[in-house]
């Protein structure tokens, strides 16, 4: 029988793992600007969800148990072929550009990226 | 300077020269088209789109991995998403490969100009998609997605370089190899080959890796050399003055020729890699790997050695004759057809043929000159049938005609006149018509022989064998006395 | 008359059209009349949450497109050409699919002004088969939710059986439209139950095909390894017909399987004699986390649902099926926790592209720099549900947590899949309730993201395993709310599942209550 991993030590559920500081970090990673009210609500919900997620920690997983990326395994029968290398220009470039909020001479325009001060 | 040694590793991004992009059917060539014209919903990251992998990308990447002697070519490798925000990245993530790449642990070996061999390890070789381009203007960024989705192979070396010159030489040899294998056009000015360098220094004899700086945005091999050299020197100065090296990212300013600390703040870099769920694993069969290994052609450096050995041409020649594949093949086919001294063929190819190629900005394969035709011309010149200058002209004539070289020579009467009797008659005619010059020559102005030979060439429509003409004229002049 | 036409099964519309007794235009008119009668206020951004005087199934109608399509179908019929297997069938498209020239909003402010320049493959196939695109059905924002309440387009859809109750989600508009006769078919998506659960709540049929059976190209992605486009219909045969038109490989979808598409209708009335149908104790027990302690508590099913399960099993046994009890699927209970992790990681990444730069909403406030533009546009454009998903996704896939959460969840998925593979060695399908409860009241759990996710408790295991599953109405509870039962089968066993489901389904024998009120019955 394959050796079992030790189940991960359970985190006490009373401890909310997503502190305001961690939350702020996630918010900046996600490129979001939130109101304080929203932040409070979201952080609380995330921590509730984490309680549920922690259920996974108690499962014993054999160390050689592989991950599953897609539930259905692909075989020679089901795996589609790779695309042949042929250039077929799309006729949608203009329609795509039309969706952009700001365009100048076919470039999409955005504000500049923040800079650090040079020494 | 000798107290410290440089420790350099580089990451190269190589644009593959497939017809279409890696995940969509847009063309990979948007060099001359207006911005945002070579795009489709897929490469511009519209909602709902999915990537579809181009089979040629895998083929070319596998070929390169094989040429790099990769110890581990993974039968199954996985695409992964590298998540971050940047305007030239329409999906907000780049589809790349992370910890399950196509190939690992290869090496590239090449000679330095001084002769010693340099071996650089290739730690990792993987497939990914290129991003778009942004241009800075008036406190704004202008974004063009034309380049999004062009296929790239990224190769990461070990920290094996010890000088800027080694880095430059690596790139020269790599560029040649990429073109040789028809994997990439590898033109650095067009961004088809891009290099980021990681530079650090340490005391000679030390084993550790110290803090490194990253150099980006260098767009020619010469600039890479200069930038790396400048950074090595800066680090040495800094350390000698008691300072510390910080992990800066440095931008090469092309106009001023200096490195400056990068101006843009990067977003927090936790890329949160995970396997790309929209793509299946890249699958190779053992057969694919074997076939690619057998299909790998003779590589430039191996061929260079062989040419030196097999054809007894000097290294200088062999280097030029293995710079580009179609020229190289052309040379060899001509040698086979010629059956004489390969060195002669080499001279013709390196001088006349190569000149034509450069003038017309074409390649040996597209010149319209057959190796057998060149071989014939060379033989005719060597055999004295035609003069060398006629031979050179023939190169052009043969290309625009169905006739063989010897046919043209015959039909147009281009053979070199080597009949001493015939030439003697002409010589006498010239002397009789130019008694003053004869007198001058006989009086001691022997430099006039050049003029006489020129006249002989004129009289014979350029077909006199020049050497024979000269010696005949000399003899005739020596013994000539005007008929009175 | 038009009331009946708008409630005709899809397959019957096609038959009558081909027989010449009906025109596509007449069907379209009847449908538009029904919409007029029951739809109520059109949903819009920042619209009124509404007073329940309508079904509000749609975000937008595509009447011109529909008229042109209906005319084309009628012309083809007149000319004696084949108009397609879905000729003239009014179809609602969940607004998570890009349809060229239409606003394709994902139920979100951030895409409210996005006009798709291309059409999703499944939609294109339906249209090529002669279906009439009536409009875009409302949905939970970016399909995040199980009640349709999170849509930015208000009022949100009501359950046609009770205006106080949710239609389910995220394909709430799809299920409501079909139940209310506002379309005969709807194209939905099922990521953790988003077709089956609203189908069960609304008393219609909803199917999640095998992952990869139907192309996802043009489906605005939630969780790329779980999303499945699928049919919503009023009966099993219609679901089979719709699947027939859409299924199959697609060069634009590298995960769409190239295994040939079977004939789904050929044996659909073949019955269940000799089929082995399993019952699993793991689908009759419900495990909920205690909101205070987080401890998992066990709870029984809603009694009427439990009873309905037994009745269904008995009925199938009576038709000759072999009922196999005690089919163990012990890891199914980890479906929701694993789903919280896997779907969020993928969703967070899939949401990166919405940044106010290339399309969609851009904040009008002056940004300091580009990243500020992102933050403002995303902050203003997204509702709370997308924000929850991206934040959780970032958390569980971050470097330090990746092994503890993301990788672990993917391995738990292996366990869930393994359970089903073993089960299908013994049975042809597993029969289970689709939902733990019947349709809940609007506002009753909205805002509680955990409770909302747990509505998918019984549906999500099939998504993890990738297997196909179909929900059919079988009866009602004491409040007159529909109950749905589902059958889950092995990979690519849709034809067998449809056959079994055909025996299992029990059409509800009255019009939905709200519809009756609104058409003045």
| Cβ contacts of C500 within 8 Å, gap of 6 or more | C272, C275, C277, C316, C321, C428, C429, C487, C489
The model's pLDDT over B101-157, given as tens digits with 9 standing for 90+, comes to 999 999 999 999 998 999 999 999 999 999 999 998 888 999 999 999 999 999 999
Residue range(s) defining the domain that contains residue A46: 1-64
Q: Cα separation of B250 and A9, whole Å?
A: 44
Q: Cα separation of B314 and B4, whole Å?
A: 37
Instruction: Summarize the confidence of residues A94-116 as an average pLDDT.
Output: 91
Tell me, yes or no, whether A78 lies in a domain.
no
Tell me, yes or no, whether A45 lies in a domain.
yes
Helix (H) or strand (E) holding C324: strand C322-324
Residue B260, chain A, CB below 8 Å: the answer is: yes
Q: Cα separation of B127 and B53, whole Å?
A: 11
Token pair of B320 as six digits:
């030029």
Residue C63's pLDDT is: 98
Reply yes or no on whether C493 is catalytic: no
Residue B269's pLDDT is: 67
The model's pLDDT over A31-85, given as tens digits with 9 standing for 90+, comes to 999 999 999 999 999 999 998 998 888 888 998 999 999 999 999 999 999 999 9
DSSP A67: P
Q: Label each residue of C438-476 as H, E or C.
A: CCCECCCCCCCHHHHHHCCCCCHHHHHHCCCEEEEEEEE
* Cα of B195 vs its chain's centroid, Å: 17
Domains of chain C as residue ranges with CATH: 2-268 (3.90.1300.10), 336-406 (no CATH)
Q: Label each residue of C235-284 as H, E or C.
A: CHHHHHHHHHHHCCCECCECCCCCCCCCCCCCCCCCCCCCCEEEECHHHC
Residues of A in contact with C254 (CB under 8 A): 80
- Whether the predicted pLDDT of A6 surpasses 60: no
Instruction: Summarize the confidence of residues B208-232 as an average pLDDT.
Output: 93
The model's pLDDT over B412-450, given as tens digits with 9 standing for 90+, comes to 777 777 777 778 888 888 888 898 988 898 888 889 899
Tell me how far CA of residue C259 lies from CA of A76, A80, B198, C247, C266, in angstroms. 9, 9, 48, 10, 18
Closest CA to A100 of C77, B92, C355: C355
Closest CA to B61 of B12, B99, B102: B102
Residue C294's pLDDT is: 62
Reply yes or no on whether C194 is catalytic: yes
Question: Quick one: closest CA in A to C341, which residue?
Answer: A53
The model's pLDDT over B234-269, given as tens digits with 9 standing for 90+, comes to 999 999 999 999 888 898 877 787 888 776 555 456
Token pair of C121 as six digits:
């493959």
Q: Cα separation of B110 and B167, whole Å?
A: 11
Q: Cα separation of B123 and C250, whole Å?
A: 36
Question: Quick one: closest CA in A to B28, which residue?
Answer: A87
Which residues, numbered 79 to 118 in chain B, qualify as contacts with chain A under a Cβ-Cβ cut-off of 8 Å? 85, 87
Q: Find the length of chain B.
A: 484
What DSSP letter does each residue of C69-92 carry, written as one string?
HHHHHHHHHHHT----TTTT-EEE
Tell me, yes or no, whether A16 lies in a domain.
yes
Residues of A in contact with C464 (CB under 8 A): 68, 71
Tell me, yes or no, whether A82 lies in a domain.
no
The model's pLDDT over B270-304, given as tens digits with 9 standing for 90+, comes to 899 999 999 999 999 889 999 999 989 999 999 99
Q: Cα separation of B55 and C3, whole Å?
A: 53
| Cβ contacts of B339 within 8 Å, gap of 6 or more | B375
Q: If pLDDT is split at 50, 70 and 90, which confidence band does B389 have?
A: confident
Peptide bond into C155 cis (omega under 30): yes
CA atoms in the 13 A half-sphere facing the CB of B157: 29
Instruction: Summarize the confidence of residues B402-408 as an average pLDDT.
Output: 87
Residue B287's pLDDT is: 92
Q: Cα separation of B121 and B172, whole Å?
A: 16
Residue C292's pLDDT is: 61
Peptide bond into B185 cis (omega under 30): no
Domains held by chain A: number? 1
Q: Cα separation of B155 and B174, whole Å?
A: 11
Residue A16's pLDDT is: 62
- Whether the predicted pLDDT of A13 surpasses 60: no
What is the average pLDDT score of chain B? Answer: 91
How large a percentage of chain B has pLDDT more than 90?
67
Q: Are C474 and C485 in contact (CB under 8 A)?
A: yes
Angle between helices C24-38 and C63-79 (to 10 degrees): 160
Residue C509's pLDDT is: 77
| Cβ contacts of A36 within 8 Å, gap of 6 or more | none
Q: If pLDDT is split at 50, 70 and 90, which confidence band does B221 have?
A: very high
Tell me, yes or no, whether A39 lies in a domain.
yes
Residue C445's pLDDT is: 93
Residue C290's pLDDT is: 65
Instruction: Summarize the confidence of residues B401-420 as an average pLDDT.
Output: 81
Which residues, numbered 49 to 108 in chain C, qualify as contacts with chain A under a Cβ-Cβ cut-off of 8 Å? none
Q: Cα separation of C198 and C139, whole Å?
A: 11
Please tell me the distance in Å from A7's CA to the nearest CA on chain C.
Answer: 11
Residue C234's pLDDT is: 97
Q: Cα separation of C159 and C202, whole Å?
A: 6
What is the average pLDDT score of chain A? Answer: 86
Please tell me the distance in Å from A79's CA to the nearest CA on chain C.
Answer: 6
* Cα of B306 vs its chain's centroid, Å: 19
Q: Cα separation of B47 and C219, whole Å?
A: 8
Instruction: Summarize the confidence of residues A75-97 as an average pLDDT.
Output: 96
Which chain A residues have any C-beta within 8 angstroms of a chain B C-beta?
25, 28-29, 31, 69-70, 74, 79, 81-90, 92-93, 96-97, 99, 104-116, 118-119
Biggest distance spanned by C-alpha atoms of chain B: 105
Tell me, yes or no, whether A117 lies in a domain.
no
Question: Any bridge partners for residue B124, and if so which?
Answer: B104, B156
Long-range contacts of B340-347 (CB under 8 A, 24+ apart): B340/B378, B340/B379, B340/B382, B342/B311, B342/B312, B342/B313, B343/B311, B343/B312, B343/B313, B343/B317, B344/B378, B344/B382, B345/B374, B345/B375, B345/B378, B346/B311, B346/B313, B346/B317, B346/B321
Cβ C359–B47 below 8 Å, yes or no? Answer: yes
Work out whether the CA dihedral C194, C197, C200, C201 comes out positive or negative.
negative
* Span between the terminal Cα atoms of chain B, in Å: 84
Q: Cα separation of A4 and A65, whole Å?
A: 10
Residue B425's pLDDT is: 85
Q: Are B21 and B146 in contact (CB under 8 A)?
A: no
Residues of B in contact with A84 (CB under 8 A): 55
Residue A116's pLDDT is: 61
Catalytic residue among C151, C170, C280, C471: C170
How large a percentage of chain B has pLDDT more than 70?
98
Domains of chain B as residue ranges with CATH: 4-291 (no CATH), 298-411 (no CATH), 420-479 (1.10.10.410)
Tell me, yes or no, whether A118 lies in a domain.
no
Reply yes or no on whether C387 is catalytic: no
Q: Cα separation of C308 and C331, whole Å?
A: 24
Burial string for C43-81 (b: 16+ CB within 10 Å, else e) reads: beeebeebebebbbbbbbbbeebbbebbebbbebbeeee
User: pTM of the predicted model, to two decimals?
Assistant: 0.92
Neighbours of B484 (CB within 10 A): 3
Neighbours of A37 (CB within 10 A): 8
Token pair of C274 as six digits:
């000799």
pLDDT averaged per 10 residues in sequence order, chain C, 521 residues: 88 96 96 96 86 90 98 97 97 98 97 97 98 98 97 96 96 98 98 98 98 98 97 98 98 97 97 97 80 72 94 97 96 94 97 97 94 96 97 90 88 97 98 96 94 94 98 96 98 98 92 92 75
Helix (H) or strand (E) holding A69: none
Q: Cα separation of C457 and C332, whole Å?
A: 9
Q: If pLDDT is split at 50, 70 and 90, which confidence band does A4 have?
A: very low
Tell me, yes or no, whether A109 lies in a domain.
no
């Amino acid at each position: 029988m394959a050796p079992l991993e030790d189940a991960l030590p359970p985190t006490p559920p009373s401890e909310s793992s997503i502190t305001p500081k961690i939350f702020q970090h996630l918010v900046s990673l996600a490129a979001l600007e939130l109101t304080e009210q929203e932040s409070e609500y979201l952080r609380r919900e995330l921590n509730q969800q984490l309680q549920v997620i922690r259920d996974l920690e108690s499962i014993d997983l054999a160390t050689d148990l592989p991950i599953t990326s897609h539930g259905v395994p692909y075989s020679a029968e089901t795996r589609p072929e790779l695309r042949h290398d042929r250039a077929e220009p799309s006729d949608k470039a203009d329609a795509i550009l039309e969706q952009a909020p700001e365009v100048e001479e076919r470039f999409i325009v955005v504000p500049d990226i923040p800079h650090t001060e040079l020494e | 300077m000798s107290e410290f040694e440089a420790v350099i590793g580089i990451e190269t991004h190589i644009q593959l020269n497939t017809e279409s992009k890696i995940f969509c059917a847009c063309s990979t060539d948007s060099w001359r088209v207006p911005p945002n014209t070579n795009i489709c919903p897929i490469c511009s990251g519209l909602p709902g789109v999915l990537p579809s992998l181009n089979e040629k990308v895998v083929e070319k990447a596998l070929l390169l991995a094989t040429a790099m002697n990769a110890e581990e070519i993974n039968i199954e490798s996985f695409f992964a998403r590298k998540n971050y925000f940047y305007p030239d990245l329409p999906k907000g993530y780049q589809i790349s490969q992370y910890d399950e790449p196509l190939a690992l642990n290869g090496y590239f070996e090449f000679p330095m100009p001084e002769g010693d061999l340099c071996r650089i390890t290739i730690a990792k070789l993987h497939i990914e998609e290129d991003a778009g381009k942004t241009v800075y203007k008036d406190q704004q960024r202008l974004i063009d997605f034309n380049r999004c989705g062009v296929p790239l192979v990224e190769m990461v070396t070990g920290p094996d370089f010890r000088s800027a010159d080694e880095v430059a030489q690596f790139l020269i040899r790599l560029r040649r190899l990429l073109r040789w294998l028809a994997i990439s056009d590898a033109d650095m000015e067009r961004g088809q080959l891009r290099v980021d360098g990681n530079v650090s220094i340490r005391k000679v004899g030390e084993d550790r890796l110290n803090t490194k700086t990253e150099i980006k945005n260098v767009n020619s091999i010469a600039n890479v050399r200069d930038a790396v050299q400048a950074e090595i020197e800066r680090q040495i100065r800094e350390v000698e003055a008691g300072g510390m090296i910080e992990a800066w990212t440095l931008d090469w300013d092309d106009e001023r020729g200096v490195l400056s600390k990068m101006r843009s703040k990067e977003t927090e870099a936790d890329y949160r890699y995970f396997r790309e769920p929209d793509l299946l694993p890249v699958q190779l069969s053992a057969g694919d790997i074997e076939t690619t290994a057998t299909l790998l052609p003779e590589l430039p450096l191996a061929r260079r050695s062989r040419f030196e050995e097999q054809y007894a041409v000097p290294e200088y020649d062999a280097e030029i004759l293995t710079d580009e594949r179609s020229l190289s093949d052309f040379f060899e086919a001509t040698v086979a057809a010629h059956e004489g001294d390969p060195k002669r063929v080499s001279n013709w190819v390196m001088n006349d043929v190569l000149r034509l190629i450069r003038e017309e900005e074409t390649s040996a394969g597209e010149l319209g000159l057959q190796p057998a035709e060149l071989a014939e011309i060379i033989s005719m010149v060597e055999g004295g049938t035609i003069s060398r200058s006629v031979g050179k002209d023939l190169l052009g004539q043969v290309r625009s005609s169905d006739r063989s070289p010897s046919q043209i020579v015959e039909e147009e009467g281009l053979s070199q006149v080597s009949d001493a009797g015939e030439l003697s008659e002409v010589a006498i005619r010239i002397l009789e018509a130019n008694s003053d010059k004869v007198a001058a020559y006989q009086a001691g102005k022997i430099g006039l022989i050049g003029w006489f030979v020129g006249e002989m060439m004129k009289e014979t429509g350029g077909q006199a064998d020049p050497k024979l003409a000269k010696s005949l004229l000399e003899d005739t002049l020596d013994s000539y006395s005007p008929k009175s | 008359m038009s009331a009946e036409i708008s409630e005709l099964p899809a397959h019957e519309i096609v038959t009558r059209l081909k027989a010449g007794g009906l025109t596509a235009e007449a069907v379209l008119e009847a449908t538009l009349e029904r919409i007029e009668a029951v739809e109520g206020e059109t949903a819009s951004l920042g619209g009124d949450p509404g007073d329940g005087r309508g079904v509000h199934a749609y975000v937008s109608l595509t009447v011109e497109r529909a008229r042109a399509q209906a005319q084309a179908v009628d012309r083809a019929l007149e000319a004696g050409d084949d108009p397609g297997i879905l000729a003239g069938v009014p179809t609602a498209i969940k607004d998570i699919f890009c349809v060229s020239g239409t606003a394709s909003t994902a139920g979100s402010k951030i895409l409210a002004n996005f006009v798709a320049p291309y059409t999703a493959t499944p939609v294109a196939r339906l249209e090529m088969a002669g279906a009439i695109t009536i409009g875009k059905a409302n949905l939970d924002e970016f399909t995040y939710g199980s009640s349709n309440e999170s849509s930015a387009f208000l009022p949100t859809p009501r359950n046609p059986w009770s205006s106080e109750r949710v239609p389910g989600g995220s394909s709430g508009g799809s299920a409501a439209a079909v139940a209310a006769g506002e379309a005969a078919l709807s194209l939905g998506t099922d990521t953790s139950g988003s077709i089956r659960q609203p189908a069960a709540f609304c008393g219609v049929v909803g199917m999640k095909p095998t992952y990869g059976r139907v192309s996802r190209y043009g489906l605005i992605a939630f969780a790329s390894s779980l999303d499945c486009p699928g049919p919503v219909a009023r009966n099993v045969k219609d679901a089979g017909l719709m699947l027939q038109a859409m299924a199959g490989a697609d060069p634009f979808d590298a995960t769409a399987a190239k295994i040939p598409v079977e004939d789904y209708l050929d044996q659909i009335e073949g019955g269940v004699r000799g089929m082995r149908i399993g019952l699993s104790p793991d689908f009759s027990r419900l495990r909920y986390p205690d909101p205070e302690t987080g401890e998992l508590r066990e709870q029984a099913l809603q009694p009427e649902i439990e009873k309905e399960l037994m009745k269904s099993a008995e009925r199938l046994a009576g038709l000759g099926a072999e009922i196999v009890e005690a089919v163990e699927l012990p890891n199914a209970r980890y479906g929701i926790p694993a789903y919280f992790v896997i779907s969020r990681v993928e969703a967070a990444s899939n949401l990166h592209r919405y940044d106010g730069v290339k399309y969609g909403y851009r904040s009008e406030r002056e940004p300091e720099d580009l990243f500020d533009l992102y933050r403002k546009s995303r902050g203003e454009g997204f509702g709370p549900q997308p924000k929850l998903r991206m934040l959780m996704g970032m958390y569980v896939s971050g470097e330090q947590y990746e092994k503890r959460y993301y990788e672990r969840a993917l391995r738990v998925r292996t366990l869930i899949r393994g359970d089903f593979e073993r089960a299908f060695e013994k049975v042809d399908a597993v029969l289970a309730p689709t939902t733990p409860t019947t349709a809940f009241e609007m506002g009753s759990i909205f805002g509680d993201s955990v409770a909302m996710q747990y509505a998918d408790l019984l549906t999500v295991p099939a998504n993890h395993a990738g297997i196909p599953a179909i929900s059919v109405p079988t009866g009602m509870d004491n409040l007159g709310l529909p109950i749905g039962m589902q059958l889950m089968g092995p990979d690519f066993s849709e034809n067998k599942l449809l056959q079994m489901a055909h025996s299992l389904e029990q059409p509800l024998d009255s019009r939905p209550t709200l519809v009756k009120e609104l058409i003045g019955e």
